[in-house]
Amino acid sequence: DLAEQFEVSRPVIREAIIALEVQGLVEVRVGSGVYVLSACEAEQDGGQDVSAIELTEARLLVESEVAALAAAQITDAELRELAELVDRIEEENKTPDGKEEADAAFHLAIAKAARNSALFDTVERLWGLRHTSREAALLHEKARHANIKPIVDEHTAILTALRARDPKAAREAMRAHLSQVLESLLFATEQRAVDEARRNMQARRERFSRVTA
């Protein structure tokens, strides 16, 4: 209806809705629709926005050291739990909806193994921001749509370092993994810009077609 009313293509409308969602003016409820937020709701939601790039940079700094600390004191039971989570990550990668519950559980289990409540709370908070920050959530969603999913080999390398009780190797494996996550997000950012340029070009072509028809 909106595409017909404003005489634009549907992708242009979808991009506009995404922009409104990033600004906290609307809420998209899967299977239900798009809802306009009240001024009060928009103001409350506006204070938690952080970019996916900033968030991953923070995770790289924090979780690399957390992995090193965990390597020195992780238990055999915790290592078995991590191995099971790696298997679950591989299974989740096969699902079309792109769930990342096992990925989150893997990183939080390492934080728990570090035996430091403050660090665990920090890692848990950083993972929570992936969902509560609109900008971060939207870019991660864009990455999933581009079929960018948790890499099993990278998580296996972290597990191998933890099994060896090698803090330096664990730190390097976690840093390498999160550096790759950053690269993937940068790719998704670039792809989003390309998609937007294509939509703008298509909209111009449609306007030109209407004028010359």
The predicted-structure confidence for 152-170, as pLDDT tens digits, reads as follows 999 999 999 999 999 999 9
d(C-alpha 107, C-alpha 88), whole Å: 13
Model's pTM, two decimal places? Answer: 0.68
* Confidence category of residue 175, pLDDT binned at 50, 70, 90: very high
Taking the CA of residue 38 as centre, how many other CA atoms within 13 Å lie in the half-sphere pointing to its CB?
3
> In this predicted model, which residue has the larger pLDDT, 195 or 138?
138
Of 156, 151, 182, 158, nearest in space to 172 by CA: 158
